């Protein structure tokens, strides 16, 4: 029998109704948090309204909701007022398979703590300006299997924590390089799925410069890409590095080759016509004597615990070299200073990754001469400029400053040619009509004979003298046929 002592509690059996009342008081869906919406299942802070044939988001939503599943319904428009009150604890919103065609730019104002957003398998066609700018803590965004053809450059602004972006199975024709370019890309993005779109070209050079841990999660398969050798070498390096985005989808990585009846495998283009692409080498760096170079350890593991380098001579580099010419940088790169011919060879970078270890090889070629590109370019330009100036000066001297051949004869007067001989002298003739005379006024040395030159032209040491003119008129000088002055010159020849 139960004790009748006043300090001893009496056991009373608890029925089902009392148990439900106790659970309702402990559950966040009690009076303080709001009631569970109709046609939904509530469990702790989870609210599942999947396959409930809803055309709008149920209201009101309890403020303690952390996960909201609205998938497989008929919510075709997500307006700004779908969450009229702030939901500070909501971190996952699932809206896949709804036929969703419109999302307001203010739809996520009241859910700033959202980390997982699933908008896949809907009918979205455009991603408008600053569509997700309110989601500063978003980490995973699923947009695959839509009809997206236009992506605004600012659609993913302020997503500083976004790690995974799925854009596969859409109609995107332009590669969104701004998402990956250093300085403008999403800083923590580690996965970008662009498979099964309408991409015809990718910037292979800029993609090759990306870190290997990002290229390992860049999916480009099932796109109608145009075949070219840069694309082949990009993917061939990925296959050699065992990058999952290439190794796992080798059969789906195809490209369009003019004249081919169907798409061909990109990785089968090595050495085949018409492109005849050469196989890509892992990493080759060229330098010259005396240069300083940095060898990058481009590991496909993002969380690297440790790494070290091994030189071509088998020496392990853990820190500064003995003479300071070899330095292991903080980011794992190896810097070589004042290169010597013996520094050439293959360097190995040993990486201890979070799952597996990895070994990278970098081949360094050291040319056996010193290259000073900027100075040589400057010297060549300077020499060319000086040569042009000197050429112009010489031409001007030749045209205007050529000395007169009969400078010593300026003081003496020469008798003009007789009048009866002027009819035979033409201004266009190159053969002088004057016969040689006895006596040269300046003591010029004249050949004793007629001395015919080319075409019978006289080639004497000076201008032959003319007989003195009869009469009181002043004598005039005769122009020298070999002088610089010609009948076509603008300078008068009559003094």
Q: In which band, very low, low, confident or very high, does the pLDDT at 460 lie, cut at 50, 70 and 90?
A: very low
Q: In which band, very low, low, confident or very high, does the pLDDT at 173 lie, cut at 50, 70 and 90?
A: very high
482, part of any domain: no
Q: In which band, very low, low, confident or very high, does the pLDDT at 406 lie, cut at 50, 70 and 90?
A: low
Q: How many C-beta neighbours within 10 Å does residue 336 have?
A: 22
At 380 the pLDDT is: 60
At 225 the pLDDT is: 95
344, part of any domain: yes
Q: In which band, very low, low, confident or very high, does the pLDDT at 330 lie, cut at 50, 70 and 90?
A: confident
At 443 the pLDDT is: 43
Stretch 258-267: mean pLDDT: 87
123, part of any domain: no
Among positive and negative, which fits the CA dihedral 316, 321, 326, 329? Answer: positive
At 462 the pLDDT is: 47
36-92 pLDDT per residue, tens: 888 899 988 999 999 999 999 998 888 889 999 999 999 999 999 898 888 999 999
* pLDDT for 176 beyond 60: yes
Q: Which pair of structure tokens corresponds to residue 34?
A: 């709001």
Is 300 or 130 the better-scoring residue by pLDDT? 130
Domain count within the chain = 1
Cα distance between the two ends of the chain? 159
Stretch 401-425: mean pLDDT: 52
At 433 the pLDDT is: 47
Q: In which band, very low, low, confident or very high, does the pLDDT at 253 lie, cut at 50, 70 and 90?
A: very high
199-227 pLDDT per residue, tens: 999 999 899 888 888 999 999 999 999 99
Task: Indicate the burial class of 207 (C-beta count within 10 angstroms; 0-12, 13-18, 19 or more).
Answer: buried
pLDDT over 70 percentage in the chain: 69
Q: How many C-beta neighbours within 10 Å does residue 478 have?
A: 19
333, part of any domain: yes
At 72 the pLDDT is: 96
- Nearest Cα residue to 402 out of 489, 476, 494: 489
358-391 pLDDT per residue, tens: 777 788 888 877 655 444 444 566 678 888 888 8
pLDDT over 90 percentage in the chain: 34
* pLDDT for 100 beyond 50: yes
Instruction: Give the E-state strand segments of 251-402 in sequence order.
Output: 254-256, 264-265, 284-288, 293-295, 306-310, 316-317, 326-328, 334-336, 345-352, 357-367
Q: Do 89 and 45 meet the contact criterion of CB atoms below 8 Å apart? A: yes
Stretch 159-184: mean pLDDT: 91
* pLDDT for 1 beyond 70: no
Residue with tokens 């004057």: 434
352, part of any domain: yes
Among positive and negative, which fits the CA dihedral 105, 107, 113, 116? Answer: negative
Averaged confidence pLDDT in the chain: 76
Stretch 323-340: mean pLDDT: 82
Q: In which band, very low, low, confident or very high, does the pLDDT at 17 lie, cut at 50, 70 and 90?
A: very low
Q: In which band, very low, low, confident or very high, does the pLDDT at 415 lie, cut at 50, 70 and 90?
A: low
Distances in Å between the Cα of 444 and the Cα atoms of 388, 412, 441 are 39, 13, 7
C-alpha span between 237 and 231 (Å, rounded): 10
Beta strand pairing call for 264-265 and 254-256: antiparallel
Instruction: Give the E-state strand segments of 291-446 in sequence order.
Output: 293-295, 306-310, 316-317, 326-328, 334-336, 345-352, 357-367
375, part of any domain: no
User: What residue numbers bound the domain in which 331 lies?
Assistant: 285-366
415, part of any domain: no
321, part of any domain: yes
At 273 the pLDDT is: 77
The CATH number for 346's domain is: 2.60.40.10
Beta strand pairing call for 191-193 and 218-219: parallel
Among positive and negative, which fits the CA dihedral 214, 220, 225, 231? Answer: positive
């Amino acid at each position: 029998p139960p004790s009748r002592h006043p300090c001893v509690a009496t056991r009373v059996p608890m029925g089902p109704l009392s148990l439900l009342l106790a659970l309702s008081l402990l559950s966040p869906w009690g009076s303080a948090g709001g009631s569970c919406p109709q046609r939904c299942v509530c469990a702790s802070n989870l609210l599942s309204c999947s396959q409930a044939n809803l055309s709008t988001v149920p209201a009101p939503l309890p403020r303690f909701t952390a996960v909201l599943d609205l998938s497989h319904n008929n919510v075709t428009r997500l307006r700004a007022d779908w969450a009229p009150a702030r939901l500070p604890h909501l971190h996952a919103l699932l809206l896949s398979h709804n036929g969703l065609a419109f999302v307001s730019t203010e739809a996520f104002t009241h859910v700033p703590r959202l980390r997982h957003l699933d908008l896949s398998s809907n009918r979205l066609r455009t991603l408008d300006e600053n569509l997700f700018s309110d989601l500063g803590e978003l980490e995973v965004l699923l947009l695959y299997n839509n009809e997206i053809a236009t992506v605004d450059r600012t659609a993913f602004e302020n997503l500083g924590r976004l790690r995974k972006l799925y854009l596969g199975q859409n109609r995107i024709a332009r590669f969104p390089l701004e998402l990956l370019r250093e300085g403008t890309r999403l800083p923590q993005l580690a996965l970008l799925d662009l498979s099964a779109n309408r991409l015809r070209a990718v910037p292979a050079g800029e993609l090759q410069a990306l870190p290997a841990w990002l290229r390992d999660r860049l999916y480009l398969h099932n796109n109608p890409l145009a075949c070219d050798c840069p694309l082949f070498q990009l993917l061939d390096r990925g296959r050699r590095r065992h990058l999952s985005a290439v190794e796992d989808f080798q059969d789906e990585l195809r490209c369009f080759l003019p004249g081919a009846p169907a798409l061909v495998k990109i990785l089968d283009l090595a050495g085949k016509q018409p492109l005849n692409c050469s196989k890509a080498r892992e990493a080759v760096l060229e330098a010259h004597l005396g240069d300083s170079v940095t060898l990058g350890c481009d590991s496909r593991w993002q969380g690297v615990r440790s790494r070290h380098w091994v030189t071509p001579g088998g020496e392990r580099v853990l820190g500064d070299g003995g003479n300071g010419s070899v330095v292991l940088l903080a980011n794992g790169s190896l810097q070589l200073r004042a290169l010597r011919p013996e520094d050439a060879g293959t360097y190995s970078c040993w990486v201890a990754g979070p799952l597996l270890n990895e070994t990278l090889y970098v081949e360094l070629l050291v040319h056996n001469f010193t290259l000073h590109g900027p100075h040589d370019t400057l010297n060549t330009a300077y020499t060319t400029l000086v040569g042009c100036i000197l050429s112009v000066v010489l031409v001007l001297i030749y045209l205007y400053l050529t000395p007169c051949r009969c400078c010593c004869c300026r003081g003496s007067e020469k008798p003009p040619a007789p009048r009866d001989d002027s009819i035979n002298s033409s201004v266009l003739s190159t053969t002088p009509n004057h016969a040689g005379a006895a006596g040269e006024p300046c003591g010029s040395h004249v050949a004793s004979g007629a001395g015919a030159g080319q075409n019978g032209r006289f080639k004497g040491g000076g201008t032959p003298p003319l007989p003195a003119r009869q009469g009181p008129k002043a004598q005039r000088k005769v122009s020298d046929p070999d002088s610089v002055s010609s009948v076509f010159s603008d300078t008068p020849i009559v003094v």
